[in-house]
């Protein structure tokens, strides 16, 4: 059943990507949510509605947790099939840059990471995989990133954490080869999967983390809350995704 769902979701994501790129060329609505830099567009909502409808068709009885909230409220138990959906990740990039955004989707079964998908929309690259399945970009299998240290690689730490000197994270940035901020958890997760980054630290909602976590763990990367605990699937967490070496270094450098 999981293999069949995997095949259907991959087909759906390619169709949805075509539609997303088309919708981006047409006028679309932009609204603010909690503040001026927290945006949602009509494309986020259309995508979410379509993903929701499709998942309910191919996986009846599943639970769906999605950012813009179709039927998502009130999930307190990850039992059974739980799909976690970010219909556009990097909405600010989508609006301001028309680039560097993604679509993310994950399946957790009884709370366990099972399938993960990140569509890099503009580059038409779909990252997908799961435990024991490997991780692929389109049809090409990714190898596990090298276990590099901070000084050997680039890190991404989200801007509020750097600007607010949260947990002394600027110290981590200083110890690295360089600091990058992509403005999209999807793009940053891809950076981790491909070895472009050696560490990523951000405060992430369930839909920002779920897909990348499935694939990062399959590639032997560390995914944990900054306090060392396992992130809760249904909560927002201050998390790090890192090589083993960088995970140890971050633990030493932060409080
Ligand atoms: C946001 C982006 C951003 C991250 C925020 C997310 P959205 O997602 O991934 O990089 O720092 O925490 O909420 O709202 O564009 O889907
Ligand atoms: Ca958002
Ligand atoms: Ca989003
Ligand atoms: Ca997001």
Length of the chain, please? Answer: 255
Same domain, 115 and 234: no
Final residue belonging to a domain, choices 118, 141, 164: 141
Final residue belonging to a domain, choices 75, 110, 141: 141
Contact of 28 with 41, CB cutoff 8 Å = yes
Q: Residue 44: pLDDT above 70? A: yes
* Ligand located closest to 91 CA: 1
As for how many domains the chain has, the answer is: 2
C-alpha dihedral (247, 249, 253, 255), degrees to nearest 10: 30
Task: State whether the beta carbon of 184 lies less than 6 angstroms from ligand 1.
Answer: yes
Task: State whether the beta carbon of 90 lies less than 6 angstroms from ligand 1.
Answer: yes
CATH of the domain at 76: 3.30.540.10
pLDDT tens figures, 163-218: 999 999 999 999 999 999 999 999 999 999 999 999 999 999 999 999 999 999 99
CATH of the domain at 209: 3.40.190.80
Same domain, 24 and 94: yes
Q: Which domain holds residue 49?
A: 2-141
CB atoms inside a 10 Å sphere around CB 106: 28
The ligand 1 atom at the shortest distance from the C-alpha of residue 183 is: 10
ipTM: 0.97
Burial of 100 from C-beta contacts in 10 A (0-12 / 13-18 / 19+):
buried
Q: Residue 13: pLDDT above 90? A: yes
Same domain, 6 and 132: yes
The Cα–Cα gap between 117 and 10 comes to: 8
Tell me how far the alpha carbon of residue 184 lies from the centroid of ligand 4, in angstroms: 7
Tell me how far the alpha carbon of residue 90 lies from the centroid of ligand 1, in angstroms: 5
Same domain, 157 and 136: no
Q: What is the pLDDT of residue 255?
A: 76
Task: State whether the beta carbon of 158 lies less than 6 angstroms from ligand 1.
Answer: yes
Percentage of residues in the chain having pLDDT higher than 90: 97
**pTM for the full predicted model:** 0.97
pLDDT tens figures, 129-178: 999 999 999 999 999 999 999 999 999 999 999 999 999 999 999 999 99
Q: Residue 71: pLDDT above 70? A: no
Q: What is the pLDDT of residue 138?
A: 98
Same domain, 104 and 196: no
Same domain, 135 and 154: no
Q: What is the pLDDT of residue 69?
A: 84
3-state secondary structure of 244: helix
Contact of 219 with 132, CB cutoff 8 Å = no
Same domain, 104 and 51: yes
Same domain, 134 and 165: no
Q: Which of 124, 109, 96 is nearest to 20 (CA)?
A: 124
Same domain, 49 and 113: yes
């Amino acid at each position: 059943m999981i293999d069949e769902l995997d095949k259907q979701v991959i087909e759906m994501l390619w169709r949805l990507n075509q539609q997303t790129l088309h919708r981006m060329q047409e006028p679309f609505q932009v609204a603010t949510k909690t503040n001026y830099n927290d945006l949602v567009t009509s494309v986020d909502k259309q995508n979410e509605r379509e993903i929701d409808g499709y998942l309910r068709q191919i996986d009846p009885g599943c639970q769906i947790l999605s950012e813009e909230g179709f039927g998502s409220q009130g999930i307190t138990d990850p039992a059974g099939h739980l799909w976690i959906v970010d219909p556009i990740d990097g909405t600010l990039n989508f609006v301001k840059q028309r680039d560097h955004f993604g679509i993310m989707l994950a399946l957790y079964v009884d709370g366990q990471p099972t399938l993960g998908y990140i569509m890099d929309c503009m580059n038409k690259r779909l990252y997908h995989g799961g435990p024991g399945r490997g991780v692929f970009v389109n049809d090409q299998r990714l190898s596990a990133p090298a276990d590099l240290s901070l000084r050997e690689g680039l890190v991404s730490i989200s801007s509020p954490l750097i600007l607010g000197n949260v947990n002394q994270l600027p110290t981590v940035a200083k110890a690295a080869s360089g600091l990058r901020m992509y403005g999209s958890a999807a793009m940053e997760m891809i950076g981790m999967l491909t070895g472009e980054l050696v560490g990523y630290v951000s405060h992430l909602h369930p839909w920002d983390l779920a897909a990348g976590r499935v694939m990062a763990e399959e590639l032997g990367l560390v995914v944990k809350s900054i306090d060392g605990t396992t992130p809760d699937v249904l909560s927002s967490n201050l998390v790090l995704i890192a090589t083993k070496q960088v995970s140890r270094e971050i633990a030493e450098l932060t409080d």
